[in-house]
Amino acid sequence: MHTLFPVQTSVQNNHLDVNPEPDIEAIQWSLISHLVECFLLEKWVDEHFIQVTTTTEYLANYQTTQAQDAHQFLASLLLESLPQQYQDFFDQDNSLIVMQVDQERQLLLLVEPAYASPWRLSKSCLPVIRNVNARLNNNLNDSLDSYHVDSASLEPVSSAQQLLDIFLLMMDSASLSDIGVLKLKESLEASFIAQQQSSLANITTTVCQYPYWHQTLIAAEQWASLMDRPFHPLAKGKLGFTAQEYKRYMAEFNQPITLAWVAIAKSHVMVAERVQDTTTQNPAKYLLDTTQQQKLMRELDDKGIADTHIAMPVHPWQMTHVVDDMYADDLANGTVVALTFDALITYASSSMRSMLIDADTPNSIKLPIGVYALNSKRYLPALKLINGEKNQAILMQARTIDPVLSSQLRLWDERLWWGYMSPSHLHDKSASNPYFYQEKPTHLGAMLRQLPANLCDDTIRLLPMASLGMLVYKQGVSHHIFDGIVQEGIHSTTQNSNQNSAQDSIQESASQNKKAAVIACFKNLCDVFLGAMLRCLRLGFAPEMHGQNIVIVLKDNRFTSLLLRDHDSVRIHLPWLARHKISDPEYLSPPDFKNRLYRETPQALIFYLQSLGLLVNIRAIIESLVEHYHINEDALWHEAMISIEESLVTINFDDNQRQVLRDELLNGSHYPHKTLLLPVIARGSDPHGSMPAGESKTINPFKRIKKNS
């Protein structure tokens, strides 16, 4: 069986395991699986090119009334050219999707029913390309007598790059951007190479057993980074990193990263609203200990810029590849001064540009880095930082309105930031500031993140939700973060088993106990996450719900609350906000540009819970638990559904809200789906700062659960 998760294979040398190598087939299958899903859900081609059938019906097309046995013989020859798992798939009358590539070729997708899409690729097989042999239409006896059957008539598609080429051939080439296609191919190849590297990362399997909270967070970020954004074929590709830089700067490799530092003239630094005095409110004051601050100040004094400049951390990649070039004039005239200070050691988070400190401090830092990830540059625009301040005000007000949110929704404070800006527009925080829309100011700046003080506690574990949708394989054995969470309960239950029972009965009981504990743990997670998100929707806003942006808080092996970061992407629906006297934040946006933080309908707001919250975040966790613990997938989706149903009853929605949410989340036949790859083609070479995405639709994952109940 194939897996969606990176796997290492051990190389045998004289019966000894030597350095592990990436499982290329597993990585290609994962990319191909995600590519197939995007192709089908994004509707790359008209539906009449796609036929859903079964293997039995498809093989029957070989048969004729006159020569049924002969055609069956030919069909068996074609199948016998494939590995055994393909023959087994066809023998069992499974679902099959047939696509006409051109006049001579068909693409066969060997699929099974899914929850977040109508179909998903069978874990036993790759897609198969069928070269339609014209000789089959000639004299049948001649073909049989000569035993002349093309052994390549059925051939597995073994690489995502090959499959992408096939998909592109099926499309109308006139509608495709050549630059966009090249960018898509480049990103897919980069993702394939990156997954090979990441599969070799030596990641700890005992995340929750660290003695200190900050150690657990850094370790969990390694897990979250291992697959990045699940189900996105391009997620791991970071265009701009060399292979060596990838291993140095990605979180899964757990490498200490020493930040570079520059000093920027105060005349060129725009600051957050809460920064009143840069002498006492600057990055060094929050990030450095006393000894480090003194060392930094000595260098500023020696250079004569202690009073005129602000010291700013810079990601070392950014310093080498962007700052030295883009800010060459500023470096020459002293507006920006490169420093030799290098005392702050950090660790990458799963978002790559958010840097963590391995110490008992609430402070961490988000920095710009001009690498393409998901086909957008990861820079740090002041406009988004300002909108993030506005959104944090909404989140803070919401916590005062709803007492449950006050305890369940925690906030990383993101209201302190500093960024390069032209002196002529230093104090202009209006949407008409032209420098908000230029790239240069976005590449030199920093945003401080501050944890609530009572979460910096060694009895607490902070886990990005993305880490819970991940498996780590070592020597062929999978590991899940739930292992450490549910282990104690399983152990105590197993101890109470009947000692006189047969050994296999005890093992079966232990297995069932483990599955029950895992399901209970998952239900606890759903109650906290989905309950909090539904309370947010009630008040008229949707936080960023992706698993990298939401950190779940664990205490005494129970999930207790959520910790939000990246407030710049909170979406709002003004009519629902107004009911609770939450004012319009008046977001900044380019002139004549419709700001997508405003959602005009309740359905457009609920979209984020459906797409990112359920179809990405919760789905990834479910699929990892299914693979690792062999739990029935229905059971986990059912728990998520029950959690929503219970929240709709217990939360104080008005009748209209409750009905809209019930219809959209539970009763509707379809969910909206974020398109991922076609927007990459459409964007082309535009270096935008947000991931290209559009919208299509898929099935409601709970529709199948209700049908099976």
Residue 595: the pLDDT is: 84
CA distances for 175 relative to 102, 234, 265, 413, 678, angstroms: 18, 21, 48, 44, 11
What is the per-residue pLDDT across 249-276, written as a single tens digit (0 to 9) for each?
Answer: 999 999 999 999 999 999 999 999 999 9
Residue 548 domain-assigned? yes
Residue 223 domain-assigned? no
Q: Which of 139, 167, 195 is the last residue of a domain?
A: 167
What is the per-residue pLDDT across 564-595, written as a single tens digit (0 to 9) for each?
Answer: 999 999 999 999 999 999 999 999 998 878 78
CATH number at residue 640: 1.10.510.40
What SS3 state is found at 199? coil
Per-residue confidence at 377, pLDDT binned at 50, 70, 90? confident
Does position 151 have pLDDT exceeding 70, yes or no?
no
Average pLDDT over residues 594-617: 95
Residue 9: the pLDDT is: 72
Q: How many structural domains does the chain have?
A: 2
Residue 644: the pLDDT is: 98
Exposure string for 115-153, b = 16+ CB within 10 A, e = fewer: bbbbbbbbebbbbbbbeebeebeeebeebeeeeebeeeb
pLDDT over 70 percentage in the chain: 90
Q: Which of 137, 167, 197 is the last residue of a domain?
A: 167
* Dist. CA 378–CA 689, nearest whole Å: 6
Both tokens of residue 316?
A: 């070392």
- Cβ–Cβ under 8 Å, residues 571 and 596: yes
- CB atoms inside a 10 Å sphere around CB 197: 19
The percent helix, strand, coil of the chain (3-state, each to 5) is: 45, 20, 35
Q: Which of 497, 441, 68 is nearest to 268 (CA)?
A: 441
Residue 144: the pLDDT is: 42
What SS3 state is found at 121? strand
Q: Which of 555, 48, 382, 463 is nearest to 217 (CA)?
A: 463
Which segments of 8-159 does DSSP mark as H helices, in order?
Answer: 24-41, 55-60, 68-80, 84-91, 140-146
Decide which of 324 and 146 is more confident.
Answer: 324
- Cβ–Cβ under 8 Å, residues 281 and 416: yes
Both tokens of residue 588?
A: 């900044």
Does position 532 have pLDDT exceeding 70, yes or no?
yes
Residue 264 domain-assigned? no
What is the per-residue pLDDT across 47-99, written as a single tens digit (0 to 9) for each?
Answer: 888 999 999 999 887 655 445 565 566 677 778 889 999 999 999 999 999 99
Residue 211 domain-assigned? no
- Cβ–Cβ under 8 Å, residues 347 and 355: yes
* Dist. CA 676–CA 37, nearest whole Å: 10
* Dist. CA 364–CA 358, nearest whole Å: 10
Average pLDDT over residues 383-398: 98
Per-residue confidence at 41, pLDDT binned at 50, 70, 90? very high
Pairing relation of β-strands 409-411 and 558-564? parallel
pLDDT over 90 percentage in the chain: 77
Q: Which of 263, 547, 240, 224 is nearest to 356 (CA)?
A: 224
Residue 706: the pLDDT is: 77
Angle at Cα 666 formed by Cα 660 and Cα 671, nearest 5°?
85
> Mean pLDDT of all residues in the chain?
90
- Cβ–Cβ under 8 Å, residues 577 and 390: no
Residue 242 domain-assigned? no
What SS3 state is found at 580? coil
* Dist. CA 502–CA 280, nearest whole Å: 69
Q: Which of 129, 147, 167 is the last residue of a domain?
A: 167
Residue 265 domain-assigned? no
Pairing relation of β-strands 119-121 and 105-113? antiparallel
Residue 12 domain-assigned? no
End-to-end Cα distance, the chain: 28
Per-residue confidence at 686, pLDDT binned at 50, 70, 90? low
For 53, the enclosing helix (H) or strand (E) is strand 50-54
Residue 567: phi, psi to the nearest 5? -75, -10
What SS3 state is found at 272? coil
Range of the domain at 480: 460-708
* Dist. CA 32–CA 111, nearest whole Å: 12
Residue 238: phi, psi to the nearest 5? -115, 95
Q: What is the pTM of this model?
A: 0.93
Q: Which of 676, 690, 596 is nearest to 372 (CA)?
A: 690
Residue 679 domain-assigned? yes
Q: Which of 203, 209, 297 is nearest to 255 (CA)?
A: 203
Average pLDDT over residues 617-639: 97
Average pLDDT over residues 115-133: 90
Average pLDDT over residues 291-298: 98
CA distances for 180 relative to 41, 187, 555, angstroms: 19, 10, 46
Q: Which of 623, 603, 618 is nearest to 671 (CA)?
A: 603
What is the per-residue pLDDT across 474-527, written as a single tens digit (0 to 9) for each?
Answer: 888 999 999 999 975 554 444 444 455 566 676 777 888 999 999 999 999 999
Residues whose CB is less than 8 angstroms from the CB of residue 254 and which lie 6 or more positions away in sequence, other chains included = 201, 202, 203, 218, 219, 222, 347
Instruction: Tell me the one-letter amino acid at 535.
Output: R
Exposure string for 418-433, b = 16+ CB within 10 A, e = fewer: bbbbbeebbeebebeb
